[in-house]
A and B are shown apart, each in its own frame.
Chain A
Amino acid sequence: CGVYLCTFSGVEDELELSAVRHRPEGLEQLEAQTRFSRKELQILYRGFKNECPSGVVNEETFKDIYSQFFPQGDASTYAHFLFNAFDTDHNGSVSFEDFVMGLSILLRGTVQEKLNWAFNLYDINKDGYITKEEMLDIMKAIYDMMGKCTYPVLKEETPRQHVEVFFQKMDKNKDGVVTIDEFIDCCQNDENIMRSMHLFENVL
């Protein structure tokens, strides 16, 4: 009886494992689809595969990895939003292609594309509008990453205030939501934001 149970669970494990194994497309195709060079893709894939030997990263692993960069706070909520932003086909896992496409936009894309990506990140339900609630969720997630020990002390209403400031700047027609055009317009007129968009260009 015990033996039968063991083999049964073993078969289940095997099935599960083979179902989620994923091999990326060839190097040439990825080179054509993204703006990375061959060497850069190699480096990226090696790092990717090291953490996710099965070839796809699910949300738990994603949160785990991202949290290691922010040990003082809780990065899991923001990692969740990031995961949704990278998982463009919404199938619950980020494959290497998704990963590399996202990075290509972020590191080598035009400012328009980057702003588009940021808008997509903030728009949680992907309906084309950023509402105050969505922004508040994102803001809280960002502030969560700071953790407890900050100076000045983080208060309950700090994210909300930050959202108010953001909306005052972005929401031109004061209708309570920010559309993609308002967003891109406003960002392009802001010097700080424009400059910071070019910050990470030589990351890889």
Chain B
Amino acid sequence: MAAGVAAWLPFARAAAIGWMPVASTPMPTPPQDKRKAQDGLIILNVSGTKFQTWRTTLERYPDTLLGSTERDFFFHEETNEYFFDRDPDIFRHILNFYRTGKLHYPRQECISAYDEELAFFGIIPEIIGDCCYEEYKDRRRENAERLQDDEEMDMNNDVTPVNLTFREYLWRAFENPHTSTLALVFYYVTGFFIAISVMANVVETVPCGTLPNRSKEISCGDRYALAFFCLDTACVMIFTVEYLLRLIAAPSRYKFMKSVMSVIDVVAIMPYYIGLVMTDNDQVSGAFVTLRVFRVFRIFKFSRHSAGLRILGYTLKSCASELGFLLFSLTMAIIIFATVMFYAEKGSSASKFTSIPAAFWYTIVTMTTLGYGDMVPKTIVGKVFGSICSLSGVLVIALPVPVIVSNFSRIYHQSQRAEKRRAQRKTRLARIRAAKIRGTNAYMRYKQNGLLIDSLEEEAGQALVGKAATPPFESQHHHLLHCLEKTTNHEFVDEQTFQANCMEISVMNKSGSRTSSLSSSPHGLSSCCSRRHRKKSSFSLPSTNNQELSTIQIRERPVANSRSSLNAKLDETVPLKCDEPYITPSMVSLSAPVVTSSDGDSSTTTAYSQSNIVRVSAL
């Protein structure tokens, strides 16, 4: 991030002079830049190919091999260069990362070789730039799939979290049948019964031979009425049970009832119930027969079982405009040609073209090149226009179809890509957030370090805490942020603390305490909070995902806002002698390896790790 523009840091710091007249509090002291004239060229010999770069370029990323003291292990005394026995082609990309701040993935390289090089040089692959990230992830996934042939990639779906309620478990079983064997069995059973039901509907109408006292053939459905009725009943019972279970398990019942699949389910089982309710009289039997037609909708229940059917349905829905255009243009053409044919054939005797609507049928049959032959033009003019009609029919029908097909393929690929992007967006946002949090935490740590060193220096006259080799860029950047804080008299905090503060403030406002009156000085609010914090004896530990809890420390809160508080600090920040102990949560952020080195150093002396600062300013 900022390391990519490390060369501009001196400018940003110089521009900070613009804040000085505005600030009301003194600025913190800048870090000592011990290594001043160290900008030299470094020669990196990678298997014979020599690369050269500035030392400062490499030191932009101190948590990698080349940027830290780890490279000293590879220093070759005789030739005064750093020798690495690695692949020079891939090293080119790694070195470019230091130069430009962006890591690229070369498409012609093997993914596992590239990963190995990255791991060797201590670069995490997550910082690959957006231009190459998709490709990198794709190749990586393919590689992993190749290695693990038997296991499924989404094994994690099988891991059932134990704390699902029965309702959630049921819903999950319905939506992903492969989560448990029971769900799978249910899935196949319903599929089977849908097929049976549809087949029964079809077979019902087949003529099955004659009854002995009748000459007319009756259908199988009438002959074995009872059998078909029982079959129908069984199917409908299964469907009803399934529908009710889904309704119960649905997280949002209203949304479920509005969805297409549930409408299909209802339409599939309603005719049976209506038939049960209605009595067997002739008046309504006509309507009853019509209702049986709706039973065929059961076949649409198969779309739960087939993803392709769903995509097709979605395509048709989204191609509605193209389909509409097709319909519209066809209608236009039909009307034109029907009119023409009607007037052309009006003269001929015994013409079937009795009216324009009657001519519609001819036009449709001709344009779709069906040509039944039940209506044919007899006059010459009629035949001429008839041929024009059939020729143009080919064109008009053929044109929109490829559009629809290409739409289908576009939508299909789009849904694939959208899913990929959605999955990546979450990780990308998480990366950005993690980087932000890392930066904030690093900055908090810097402030802690600075304050402790100041106080200990005052006490003992020398820096006791061996500050870990925080790179000069980092410490200067933090000093800059610190100056901004002093200018505005506000402090940077990370998100959790901020949320906690907001909640506390809202609670306090509700109780109508003194914070409701806005004090004129910016310190007013903080002093109220500080008084409240002193009363609290324990903090609730904010829960975060990627931070571990280290030991809960009892230590004094360092106060730091004015010069007078420095004296107060002397009394308070000696760790082991404290009158008013606070219990503060201290968290170690896992993110950067710099953490571990500074932790290692400081643990020997004061055994404190960076704490989530809810600052108390004493005034």
| Smallest CB separation, B492 vs chain A (Å) | 6
Q: Is B5 an interface residue (CB 8 A)?
A: yes
Q: Is A112 an interface residue (CB 8 A)?
A: no
| Contact for B436 among A72, A85, A161, CB less than 8 A | A72
Whether A103 lies near B14 (C-beta < 8 A) is: yes
| Contact for A142 among B4, B22, B497, CB less than 8 A | B22
Whether A203 lies near B14 (C-beta < 8 A) is: yes
Q: Is B212 an interface residue (CB 8 A)?
A: no
Which residues of B433-452 have CB atoms within 8 Å of chain A's CB atoms? 435-436, 439-440
Which bracket fits the contact residues of B?
35 or more
Whether A51 lies near B8 (C-beta < 8 A) is: yes
A121 to B1, CA, bound (A): 27
| Smallest CB separation, A92 vs chain B (Å) | 19
| Smallest CB separation, B69 vs chain A (Å) | 23
| Contact for A183 among B21, B29, B494, CB less than 8 A | B21
Residues of B within 8 A of A121 (CB): 18
Q: Is B491 an interface residue (CB 8 A)?
A: yes
Residues of A within 8 A of B280 (CB): none
Q: Is B198 an interface residue (CB 8 A)?
A: no
Residues of A within 8 A of B520 (CB): 161
Which residues of B1-43 have CB atoms within 8 Å of chain A's CB atoms? 1-2, 4-27, 29-30, 33, 39
Whether A149 lies near B529 (C-beta < 8 A) is: no
Q: Is A4 an interface residue (CB 8 A)?
A: no
Q: Is A193 an interface residue (CB 8 A)?
A: yes
Which residues of A99-116 have CB atoms within 8 Å of chain B's CB atoms? 99, 102-103, 106-107, 114-115
Q: Is B618 an interface residue (CB 8 A)?
A: no
Whether B488 lies near A143 (C-beta < 8 A) is: yes
Whether A47 lies near B615 (C-beta < 8 A) is: no
| Smallest CB separation, A28 vs chain B (Å) | 22
Whether A202 lies near B33 (C-beta < 8 A) is: yes
Residues of A within 8 A of B20 (CB): 118, 193, 196-197, 199
Over the window 160-196 of chain A, the binary record of Cβ atoms lying under 8 Å from chain B Cβ atoms (1 yes, 0 no) is 0110011000100000000000010001000011011
Instruction: Using A145-B484, A196-B23, A202-B33 as known contacts, say yes or no to A153 and B505 having CB atoms under 8 A apart.
Output: yes
A191 to B530, CA, bound (A): 29
Whether A146 lies near B501 (C-beta < 8 A) is: no
Whether B30 lies near A200 (C-beta < 8 A) is: yes
| Contact for B498 among A102, A142, A151, CB less than 8 A | A151
Residues of A within 8 A of B26 (CB): 192, 195-196
Residues of A within 8 A of B495 (CB): 149
Residues of B within 8 A of A69 (CB): 2, 5, 8-9, 12, 477, 480
Q: Is B493 an interface residue (CB 8 A)?
A: yes
| Smallest CB separation, B500 vs chain A (Å) | 10
Whether B484 lies near A117 (C-beta < 8 A) is: no
Whether A158 lies near B522 (C-beta < 8 A) is: yes
Q: Is B502 an interface residue (CB 8 A)?
A: yes
Q: Is B526 an interface residue (CB 8 A)?
A: yes
Q: Most chain-B CB neighbours within 10 Å: which of A118, A157, A203? A: A203
Q: Is B65 an interface residue (CB 8 A)?
A: no
Residues of A within 8 A of B15 (CB): 66, 82, 106
Whether B492 lies near A161 (C-beta < 8 A) is: no
Which residues of A122-165 have CB atoms within 8 Å of chain B's CB atoms? 122, 138-139, 142-143, 145-155, 157-158, 161-162, 165
Whether A65 lies near B23 (C-beta < 8 A) is: no
Whether A162 lies near B4 (C-beta < 8 A) is: no
Whether B14 lies near A162 (C-beta < 8 A) is: no
A192 to B24, CA, bound (A): 8
Residues of B within 8 A of A68 (CB): 1-2, 4-5
Q: Is B363 an interface residue (CB 8 A)?
A: no
Residues of A within 8 A of B17 (CB): 106, 114, 117-118, 197, 199-200
A71 to B529, CA, bound (A): 27
Whether A203 lies near B498 (C-beta < 8 A) is: no
12 A-B pairs within 8 Å (CB atoms) are namely A68-B4, A69-B12, A106-B15, A107-B10, A121-B18, A142-B484, A146-B492, A150-B492, A151-B614, A151-B615, A152-B522, A204-B10
Given contacts A65-B5, A199-B483, 6 further A-B contacts (CB under 8 A): A65-B8, A69-B12, A122-B21, A152-B501, A193-B20, A197-B17
